[in-house]
Amino acid sequence: MLLIRLGLLKVLFASFCSAVTKLLGIKGVFYKIVGQEVSGLDGFYGDVWEEYSKFGIELPANPSKVCDEIKDKLGISMMIVDANDFGQEILGKSYDIKLDDDTLKGIIRDNPAGQEQELTPLVLIRQFKQP
């Protein structure tokens, strides 16, 4: 799938650059070159769900549109993120969320969904109101 979408030359170039920069102590170059479509690929959970052992889960094609549809249909403000223990990326957010991406990243900086076998697809974030 990766080769089909990106092309062999781009994958080889990203692999070469990654190998060279790792020698210099720089990480993540492969994913910067291949882009968010690949870095956001999730899944391959064969040890948890056999049916996902050979399949990845792709990012939504238009994350903000998905968030807007959920807001309109269910009344739930939401954002779609790609978060792990190394960083957070805001992929989309519903139109009513006025906080900037840096503030939103700060809210999820501790990766509330976890990075182990939690596989938590949803995280509820609410503003704490003092009595």
Cα 62 versus chain centre, distance: 13
> Which DSSP string corresponds to 49-117?
-GGGTT-EEPPPSSHHHHHHHHHHHH----EEEEEETTEEEEEEE-TT--S-HHHHHHHTTT-TT-SSS
**pTM, full prediction:** 0.65
- Among the listed residues 68, 73, 39, 70, the one whose alpha carbon sits nearest the alpha carbon of residue 56: 39
Q: How confident is the model at residue 53 (pLDDT cuts 50, 70, 90)?
A: low
Q: Mean pLDDT over all residues of the chain?
A: 80
pLDDT digits (tens, 9 = 90+) for 82-117: 877 677 888 899 999 999 999 999 888 887 777 666
